[in-house]
Amino acid sequence: MNVSLVRSYRSKNGNATFVYSVKGNKTDLDAYKTAQGDYHREDDNGQPLWFTTRCIGNTGKLIITTNGNIVPDMSAFDQASSLANQYGGNFGQELAQQAAQAILGITPSAPAPAPEQAPAEKADDDSDLGDI
């Protein structure tokens, strides 16, 4: 099942809560409703909602475990973490940054263009000669 961030808010305990819209085929959505039980909520249009205190980005995927729990698919995050740790240093940091941007759907900004240099002023042909 796919999820898309709808909004976030602070709970009465002060915790950030993220609300995701859940999309999938009828079988998946029926399984989701069953797994949610009394916690199943829908928006005004009947779209199922998933509430969590852990942001997974603007979009993501949900998995229903064999125990019937609903959890986010964090495999892309785990892979990025593994690569960053595997290589470490500047290269690992760069890998982590690029992976995080890809996972979160952030388009990396292009490097700023080099400032244009003013053309060198052309000196008069005689200016350097002085009086001869």
Closest CA to 50 of 75, 69, 65, 66: 69
SS (HEC) of 61-92? EEEECCCCCEEECCHHHHHHHHHHHHHCHHHH
Asked if residue 11 has pLDDT above 90, the reply is: yes
Q: 24-47, pLDDT tens digit by residue?
A: 999 999 999 999 999 999 999 999
Residue type, 37: G
Asked if residue 108 has pLDDT above 90, the reply is: no
CA dihedral for 58, 67, 39, 27, sign (positive or negative): positive
